[in-house]
A = this chain, B = another copy of it.
């Protein structure tokens, strides 16, 4: 049985929501767990879940409902971690200093073979740094990158890098294209994915030096990458291509602006319906329709972002993740184990 290691102490709602999401996933997807963190706190969470269950906002037409899980029937291992890496700490320093942190020990669980993949919802930087040092880089990849699947009208688009590397070289963007391609093929089942470069204009000469040079590199191997050229921010959602490459700064901005815009719009719509009595009535009727859209684009549905380019599976979850998002992150981790995406990246680079 696939075992997923989870940093139970990471994220805004740790440890309870993390543990709840993990056991929910274990029951639903048939995976074993390795929960890493303060043993007594994790045991308390498990006891509470066994006795009372927990509430979730998501999953069942978006209504708040109680989830019941028979924790005792699951295969759960607890690995005690005496330290926690806080959000503000410098990642590199933190993972060297706090060798007994839940973040480092979660990675160790995968490195040692005790678990098959890991899910982390705390500091993205620390999860990445510890994965890089604990699992090692794939040969031929200079820097691991985060693959994010963004919802669009028809099918998701892969944005890589979603935030792992703020400063990038054109050669790194080319490697992101290689990794994104294998991810799109194996995880998203896209046969010959189209690749673009995030830019601020369509023409070849547009944008900053990085985007221009990346364009040139990918254009040189146009067929290999099924390269379609530059993609502007507006076109990301129009399914012109399946993968876009950019540095992690731009990728993270794309990701968060999408999230911010969507969340603002839904709040504006909610407020607008509240403006008078008739509006409230119509809003009530419209709610199920709007909720279906919200669920299509809600980050909690996507669960987590896969770190590509390391020798192992690391899924990085949103810091604000609650149980439902963690459940989906575990699903992403399980699928990554099954599709062996990082292994296929290594094979492709050594072929």
Which A residues contact B (CB, under 8 angstroms)?
A: 87-88, 90, 125, 152-153, 163, 166-167, 198, 200-201, 203, 205-209, 211, 232-238, 247-250, 252-265, 267-269, 272-273, 275, 279, 282-283, 285-286, 289-290, 292-293, 296-297
What is the minimal beta-carbon distance from A296 to any residue of chain B, in angstroms?
A: 7
Choose from B167, B208, B296 the contact partner of A209 (Cβ within 8 Å). B167
Q: Inside 8 A of A249's CB, which chain B residues have their CB?
A: 200, 207-208, 211, 250
Q: What separation, in Å, do the CA atoms of A247 and B285 have in the docked complex?
A: 44
Q: Inside 8 A of A286's CB, which chain B residues have their CB?
A: 273, 282-283, 285-286
Q: What separation, in Å, do the CA atoms of A290 and B88 have in the docked complex?
A: 40
A208 and B167 within 8 A (CB): yes
Q: What separation, in Å, do the CA atoms of A321 and B105 have in the docked complex?
A: 55
List the 8 shortest-distance A-B pairs measured between CB atoms, nearest first.
A233-B256, A166-B208, A234-B260, A233-B257, A200-B252, A261-B261, A237-B264, A234-B256
Specify how many copies of this chain sit in the oligomer.
2
Contact (A236, B209) CB under 8 Å given A250-B250, A293-B268: no
What is the minimal beta-carbon distance from A341 to any residue of chain B, in angstroms?
A: 24
Pairs across A and B, CB under 8 Å, 12 listed? A88-B203, A166-B200, A200-B252, A208-B249, A233-B252, A233-B256, A237-B264, A249-B250, A265-B297, A268-B296, A282-B285, A282-B286
Q: What separation, in Å, do the CA atoms of A296 and B296 have in the docked complex?
A: 24
What is the minimal beta-carbon distance from A158 to any residue of chain B, in angstroms?
A: 16
Choose from B206, B250, B262, B297 the contact partner of A253 (Cβ within 8 Å). B250
Q: Inside 8 A of A90's CB, which chain B residues have their CB?
A: 205
Q: Inside 8 A of A166's CB, which chain B residues have their CB?
A: 200, 206-209, 211
Q: What separation, in Å, do the CA atoms of A203 and B252 have in the docked complex?
A: 15
Choose from B125, B262, B292 the contact partner of A272 (Cβ within 8 Å). B292
Q: What separation, in Å, do the CA atoms of A297 and B258 have in the docked complex?
A: 14
Give the residue name and chain of the B residue nearest to A151 (CB).
Answer: B264
Q: Inside 8 A of A203's CB, which chain B residues have their CB?
A: 87-88
Give the residue name and chain of the B residue nearest to A237 (CB).
Answer: B264
Choose from B206, B247, B265, B282 the contact partner of A282 (Cβ within 8 Å). B282
What is the minimal beta-carbon distance from A344 to any residue of chain B, in angstroms?
A: 28
B263 and A234 within 8 A (CB): yes
Which of A247, A264, A296 has most B Cβ within 10 Å? A264
Contact (A293, B265) CB under 8 Å given A203-B88, A253-B253, A285-B285: yes
Q: Inside 8 A of A289's CB, which chain B residues have their CB?
A: 269, 272-273, 275, 279, 282-283
Q: What separation, in Å, do the CA atoms of A208 and B238 have in the docked complex?
A: 29
Q: What separation, in Å, do the CA atoms of A49 and B170 have in the docked complex?
A: 51
Choose from B233, B248, B250, B285 the contact partner of A260 (Cβ within 8 Å). B233
Which of A87, A167, A201, A279 has most B Cβ within 10 Å? A201
Give the residue name and chain of the B residue nearest to A286 (CB).
Answer: B286
What is the minimal beta-carbon distance from A290 to any residue of chain B, in angstroms?
A: 7
What is the minimal beta-carbon distance from A142 to any residue of chain B, in angstroms?
A: 17
Give the residue name and chain of the B residue nearest to A284 (CB).
Answer: B282
Give the residue name and chain of the B residue nearest to A212 (CB).
Answer: B166
Q: What separation, in Å, do the CA atoms of A65 and B152 have in the docked complex?
A: 32
What is the minimal beta-carbon distance from A194 to any residue of chain B, in angstroms?
A: 17
Q: What separation, in Å, do the CA atoms of A238 and B249 have in the docked complex?
A: 20
What is the minimal beta-carbon distance from A305 to any residue of chain B, in angstroms?
A: 13
